[in-house]
Amino acid sequence: MPRVKKQDKKEIKRRRKKLTPIQTIKGMKDILPPEQLIWNHVLENGRKLCGDFGFGRIETPILEHTELFHRGVGQITDIVEKEMFSFETRGGDKVSLRPEGTAGVVRAYIENGMSKWSQPVKLYYEGPMFRYEKPQAGRYRQHHQFGFEIFGDECPAIDAQIIYLAWKIFQKIGIKNTTIQINSIGCSECRPAYKKLLTDYYEMKINKLCMDCKRRLTDNPLRLLDCKEEKCMQVASAAPQIIDHLCEECHDHFKNVLEFLDELEISYVLNSSLVRGLDYYTKTVFEVWESNAEGAQSSLGGGGRYDDLVQILGGEDTFAIGFSFGVERAVERLLQNGFHLERKINKDVFLVQLGNMARKKILKLFDNLIDNNIIVGESLGRGSIKSQLRMANRSNSKIALIIGQKEAIDNTVIIRDMESGMQEVVVMESVVAEVKKRLKK
């Protein structure tokens, strides 16, 4: 192999110095091991509770046909208008990275014939969503949602169960100072008359509206109630309330939902401005809000009924309701509240070695132990036996298996009881059986 000249080495080194580190794309975030502890805490509690409530896990593709979100989420929504990552494939298909989870789950419900399953069908999901919006605290362009849906039951008790499960998850993970903000936005029978009433009201206030709300007045007047602009919020505070204009069926349904929540002793607030940002909602809509020490409130997640969505996406007429929350936002709230988890390092056995021959033996021994479901720790660096035994103590190991040069040649292992310090030499072929016997004791 030709040798690299000294001046060439200097040139290579000089060029490398010019390279700038590549950073994450704006709005994306690395999730490092310390934070993963809290992520796992949130997700594991969510999975456990969903399992307790009879939900099965579903995974849908990250990439879907763009039409799914146009039809399902609604074209006159911020998500579809401004926030989707959409592109055309080489084959000419128009596709999008999913901006939310419900539309994909509904598509899967229809495509996989779940309407033929025993109803109601309960599904939960977790995974990344993508929205091209200004990054903010707890919300990134790639963010993760945990959500759950129930298909095939119109009973108000199902609404209460979804709300209870959402509330319970936050209680379980450690966000306890929460209230349910709740409203009913009616159905296809009563909503048109209310929309007309709302439009008439806002047309008299049009000069006080932001540009987005002026456009929404024609296309989607309900969204005017949800605007966060200060001047629009003032106008919305005096707007007609939909709860006063519900049809008898929607009124009775909502009344029953509230009675179930009273029975469950879940704190809720009637919020006439709550309409949620997606077109598919009907009847019950709700959000889980947390209050901080100063009294300010912020939404942790939201959901509601979407009894028309399955039919809109080509399925049979199906009652449905769901909820989702952002994992990043939940993790951030826990950190702000001082929540802390220590990484637990508990190893049954710790492998200690000295020298290359011993390392080779250790690698094979490690494999044999994990094949026997024994939790093993090791340090294959150049640390002394003394430092490796300190690591064994820190990992709460009951047993240390020590191989030095002599043991490697003799094909033996020193078994050390970490509590008593007693040591015994055994042949390599017997070490796994001996370890299992001692751990059983």
- What average pLDDT does the structure give for the chain? 88
pLDDT surpasses 80 at 116: yes
pLDDT at position 9: 66
Whole-structure pTM value: 0.83
Report, in angstroms and rounded to the nearest whole number, the Rg of the chain calculated over CA atoms: 29
pLDDT surpasses 60 at 295: no
pLDDT band at 14, cuts 50/70/90? low
Residues belonging to the chain: 441
pLDDT at position 77: 64
Choose among 145, 53, 155, 142: nearest CA to 330. Answer: 145
pLDDT in tens, 137-188: 667 899 999 999 999 999 999 999 999 999 999 999 999 889 999 999 999 8
Name the CA dihedral angle for 390, 391, 396, 401, rounded to a multiple of 10 degrees. Answer: -90
pLDDT in tens, 23-48: 988 889 899 988 899 999 999 999 99
Choose among 302, 277, 274: nearest CA to 287. Answer: 302
Choose among 107, 170, 151: nearest CA to 300. Answer: 170
Which H or E run contains 321?
strand 320-326
Structural tokens at position 121:
């069908």
Mean pLDDT of 302-311: 94
| Measured distance between the N- and C-terminal CA atoms of the chain, rounded to whole angstroms | 59
Task: Report the distance separating Cα 437 and Cα 441, nearest Å.
Answer: 7
pLDDT band at 293, cuts 50/70/90? very low
pLDDT in tens, 239-285: 888 889 999 999 999 999 999 999 999 999 999 888 876 678 899 99
List the domains of the chain with CATH numbers: 33-190+246-336 (3.30.930.10), 349-440 (3.40.50.800)
